[in-house]
Structure 1
Amino acid sequence: MIIENLIAATYAPMYEDGSLNTGVINDYTQFLIKNKVSGVFMNGSTGDFVSLSVEERKAITLAWFENKTSDLYLIDHVGDPSLKVSKELASYASDKVDAIAVLAPYYFRLNSVEKLVDYCKAIADCAPNLPFYYYHIPVLSGANLNMNEFLKIAPQKIPTFAGIKFTNNNLIDYLHAKNFDNGKYNILFGYDEIFLSSLPLGAKGWVGSTYNHIPSLYYKIKELFEAGNIEDAAQLQTKAIRFVEILDAKGGFNGVAKSFMKFYGIDCGPSRFPHTTLDDNTFKQIQKELDNIGLSEFLGK
Structure 2
Amino acid sequence: MKNLIAATYAPMHQDGSLNLEIIKPYGQFLQSNGVEGAFVNGSTGDFVSLSTIERKQLIEAWAKNRLDTFFVTNHVGHTNIREAQELAAHSENLADAICALPPFYFKPRTLDSLLLYCSEIARSAPSLPFYYYHIPILTGADFPMIDFLKRAVDQIPNFAGIKYSQYNPKDFSQCLHFDQGSKNILFGVDEKMLSSLPLGTTGWVGSTYNHLAPLYYEIISSFIKGDIQKAESLQEKAVFFVETLDKISGFNGAGKSFMRLFGLNLGPSRFPHKTMTDQQLKTAIQALDQHRVLPFLNTSFSEKYLSI
Structure 1, gaps ≥5 residues long:
none
What do residues 140-176 of structure 1 show as CA deviations (whole Å, max 9, x unaligned)? 1111111000011101011100000000011111011
Give the alignment of 1:145-184 within 5 angstroms.
145-184=143-182
Tell whether the 8 Å contact from 1:33 to 1:71 is kept in structure 2 after alignment. no
Alpha-carbon distance in structure 2 between the residues aligned to 1:181 and 1:150: 14
Tell whether the 8 Å contact from 2:24 to 2:66 is kept in structure 1 after alignment. no
1:28 — aligned with what? 26
1:51 — aligned with what? 49
Normalising by structure 2, report the TM-score: 0.96
Normalising by structure 1, report the TM-score: 0.98
Alpha-carbon distance in structure 1 between the residues aligned to 2:168 and 2:7: 20
1:40 — aligned with what? 38
1:117 — aligned with what? 115
Amino acid at match of 1:286: A
Alpha-carbon distance in structure 2 between the residues aligned to 1:72 and 1:13: 19
Amino acid at match of 1:289: A
Is the partner of 1:19 in helix, strand or coil? coil
Is the partner of 1:207 in helix, strand or coil? strand
Is 1:70–2:68 an aligned residue pair? yes
1:269 — aligned with what? 267
* Cα root mean square deviation, aligned: 0.6
Alpha-carbon distance in structure 2 between the residues aligned to 1:111 and 1:225: 40
What do residues 244-290 of structure 1 show as CA deviations (whole Å, max 9, x unaligned)? 00000001000010010010011110000000101111011111111
Alpha-carbon distance in structure 2 between the residues aligned to 1:245 and 1:166: 21
1:135 — aligned with what? 133
What do residues 102-155 of structure 1 show as CA deviations (whole Å, max 9, x unaligned)? 001100011211111111010000100000000000001111111000011101
Is the partner of 2:72 in helix, strand or coil? strand
Alpha-carbon distance in structure 2 between the residues aligned to 1:44 and 1:202: 25
1:222 — aligned with what? 220
- Report how many aligned residue pairs link the two structures: 299
Amino acid at match of 2:90: Y
C-alpha deviation, 1:238, in angstroms: 0.3
After TM superposition, where is structure 1 displaced by more than 2 Å over at least 4 residues in a row?
A: none
Tell whether the 8 Å contact from 1:250 to 1:256 is kept in structure 2 after alignment. yes
Structure 2, gaps ≥5 residues long:
301-308
2:7 — aligned with what? 9
Alpha-carbon distance in structure 2 between the residues aligned to 1:24 and 1:112: 41
2:104 — aligned with what? 106
Alpha-carbon distance in structure 1 between the residues aligned to 2:29 and 2:69: 12
User: Sequence identity of aligned pairs in percent?
Assistant: 51
